[in-house]
Amino acid sequence: MTRSPGTLGRLVRAAAALLTGSALAGTLWQGVDQPRNALAFGAFIAVGELARWGAQPGEREPAPLGAAGALAYALLGECAGRPTTHGVLQVVAVVVAAALAGAVPHVARGSGPALDHVARRVLTVGFAAVCFQPLYNSGELKRWVGHGAYYALFLLLVLVLTALCDAVLGAAMLHARTLPHGAKRMGGTPVPYGPLLRDEIGALLGIGSAVCATGAVMALAVAVAGLWALPVFCVPLLLAQLSFRRYAAVRTTYRQTIASLARATEIAGYTQPGHARRVAALSTAVGRELGLSGPDLTVLEYAALMHDIGQLSLVDPVPEGATATLPAAEQRRIALLGGAVVRQTGVPAAVAVVVEMQADPYREQPLPARIVRAVNAYDDLAGGSGGTAGGALSALERLRLGTGRDYQPEVVESLARVLARGGLTPVPPG
């Protein structure tokens, strides 16, 4: 029997809660080993959480400094040449306590970390600690690999496995945000697990690899220089995290500017209210299902938001903004006008290309343009937000009839699956 995404999310959170409870109870019962080390790493993680930024859509790690410190404590074998004695449960307990302490100001402002983020952090750090601490504390790791190059290779192996574990958990938590029983939620339609996992693994080359590498280097530095290595790492990492926070704010503002520009056609009365937002949400869901990720999804979203911007150059508005019902030559003219406008906005040139080519025969289009064309036609034909289930079925049938030239069959069927998962009447196969 296949588990629903909601059940999967509850299982992940339950596992994190069970591990947290066991860690706190075990640490309180046995006491804290080497409390000086625990306090130093706990303070480091808390500072990282204090400097965290609010997670935006697409953000992988809102607290990289805290994540690196937690991973370093999980992989800590020596401190200034002296062996450590803390185990897996103490690692998890210190990380949870420090994360909670650092999150207090954010919670007071109403912007505390999401439950999924906390569960993911606990399970990822617990996995790294399980891979390292028992082997180190039992002496097996020293007997197998010693302290030279093989020790570094072992840490690298643990880091790779930890990163993969984090990617699996991240994809699972994203997949679990689906409402059960196919409840309709525009912009939050469930997507297959595979594309989400591919997205998360691709992100490992960015902030994920930087966090893992920093955690390993910190653990090795503390092993040699002692706890004084932590403030040495803290200052540059904190500055880097604040720079990333500023970059994230700029990127969020950039996206909001594009969304506002896309609404110009609605304000001017050229398109129906919410049309650009609906097309962007559905296009993104279809793009994920068809395997797009990362920058390609960003290009698709921006192009979908701005696909009708060319209508601002028209003297007379198209009735209800439904360009899908216009002759092919007129559709192409509006698309070219839109591409010319988009090129003046400073967005990537790939976005303008998608807007310009959305009215071409699908065999001549890149995949994002095929998606935007099909989704735009669906929203026009289905009557937008006011459309009924019968209107949606009729619109999909008209798209299927146009797959000989105008719409790629795979895109139309992917759109049908996304809509069916979103709560519409199941769509019969074409």
Asked whether 355 and 309 are in contact (CB, 8 A), the reply is: yes
Among the listed residues 228, 234, 221, the one whose alpha carbon sits nearest the alpha carbon of residue 78: 221
pLDDT value of residue 398: 86
Taking 60 as the threshold, does the pLDDT of residue 430 lie above it? no
Tell me 56's DSSP state: P
Question: If you average pLDDT over residues 225-249, what whole number do you get?
Answer: 79
- Classify residue 32 as left (phi > 0), alpha (psi -120 to 50) or beta: beta
Residue predicted with more confidence, 250 or 187: 250
pLDDT value of residue 267: 79
What confidence tens digit (pLDDT) does each residue in 335-355 have? 888 888 888 877 888 888 888
Residue predicted with more confidence, 236 or 54: 236
Question: If you average pLDDT over residues 269-293, what whole number do you get?
Answer: 85
How many Å apart are CA 234 and CA 263, to the nearest integer?
43
What confidence tens digit (pLDDT) does each residue in 89-129 have? 999 999 999 988 888 887 777 776 667 788 888 999 999 99
pLDDT value of residue 191: 59
pLDDT value of residue 118: 82
Q: What is the DSSP string of 348-394?
A: -HHHHHHHHHTTS-GGGS-HHHHHHHHHHHHHHHHTGGG--HHHHHH
**Percent of the chain having pLDDT more than 70?**
84
What confidence tens digit (pLDDT) does each residue in 196-224 have? 787 778 777 767 777 888 888 899 899 98
pLDDT value of residue 256: 81
Question: If you average pLDDT over residues 66-82, what whole number do you get?
Answer: 90
pLDDT value of residue 247: 73
pLDDT band at 321; cut points 50, 70, 90: low
Residue predicted with more confidence, 193 or 334: 334
Which range is most confident: 11-20, 89-98, 210-219, 306-315? 89-98
Residue predicted with more confidence, 343 or 24: 24
Taking 90 as the threshold, does the pLDDT of residue 273 lie above it? no
pLDDT value of residue 53: 57
What is the Cα 47 distance to its own chain's centre? 24
What confidence tens digit (pLDDT) does each residue in 120-131 have? 889 999 999 999
pLDDT value of residue 6: 57
pLDDT value of residue 43: 92
| DSSP H helical ranges for 291-348 | 295-305, 328-342
Average of per-residue pLDDT values in the chain? 80
Asked whether 48 and 66 are in contact (CB, 8 A), the reply is: yes
Tell me 426's DSSP state: P
pLDDT band at 23; cut points 50, 70, 90: very high
Lowest mean pLDDT among 34-43, 103-112, 325-334: 103-112
Which range is most confident: 49-53, 69-73, 237-241? 69-73
Residue predicted with more confidence, 408 or 209: 408
Residue 1, number of CB atoms within 10 A of its CB: 3
